[in-house]
Amino acid sequence: MSAFYDEVQEIKAQYPDWRSATLPALRLAQEKHGYLSPDALRECAEALGTTPAFCESVASFYDMYHLRPVGRHLVEVCTNVSCALVGAQQVLEGFERELGIRAGETTGDGEVTLRTIECLGGCGWATIVAIDNKYRTHVMPDGVQAIVEGLRNGD
């Protein structure tokens, strides 16, 4: 059996019921496959001992699971109230310009997906941008170019 299978078994053992391992298993499958492809869902279901349909029904509820391909890097700009008040939209537009795509799209080379996201829980340090799930705080429009260059250079 695969390392993925073994890891899911270890996670299942932490809970009173195997089902609690669903969210962690989906995360692992996504990390392995890049997104929750039909293959990823099948592998996940096998390790959990359930059906791919159950896995997909759970995954489709949560924003952090991708049922369609995404770029190698994920740029998420918080546009909820607190960030919006201090200029999140200008930050977002900066990313759209630098990357040459609109929010919700992926660059042609498959490198970067850009999207808006609801409150990331860093309101006092706005604008918050999550780059591959790591928070950048106090992001200003004039700081966007350096972030994108960093992404392109593999920082």
Chain residues in the site for another protein (CB under 8 A): 14-17, 19-24, 26-27, 57-58, 61-65, 79-82, 84-90, 92-93, 103-104, 115-126, 130, 133-135
Closest separation in Å from C-beta 24 to another protein:
7
Is the CB of 27 or the CB of 42 nearer to another protein? 27
Pick between residue 36 and residue 147 the one whose CB is nearest to another protein: 36
Separation between Cα atoms, residue 69 and residue 90, nearest integer Å = 27
Instruction: Decide whether 4 or 65 has the Cβ nearer to another protein.
Output: 65
Measured CA distances, 100 to 46, 113, 128 (Å)? 40, 11, 21
CB atoms within 10 A of CB 9: 16
Of residues 70 and 130, the one with the C-beta less far from another protein: 130
For the stretch 12-29, what's the b/e string if a residue is b when 16 or more beta carbons lie within 10 angstroms of its beta carbon? beeeeebeebbebbbbbb
Q: What angle do CA 15, 18, 20 make, to 5 degrees?
A: 65
**Closest approach of Cβ 56 to another protein, in Å?**
11
| Beta-carbon contacts of residue 39 (< 8 Å; ≥ 6 apart) | 33
**Minimum distance of another protein from residue 133's CB (angstroms):** 5
- With respect to another protein, which residue has the nearer C-beta, 74 or 147? 74
Q: How far is the CB of 94 from another protein (least distance, A)?
A: 12
- Structural contact between residues 28 and 8, judged by C-beta atoms closer than 8 angstroms: yes
Shortest distance (Å) from residue 68 CB to another protein = 14
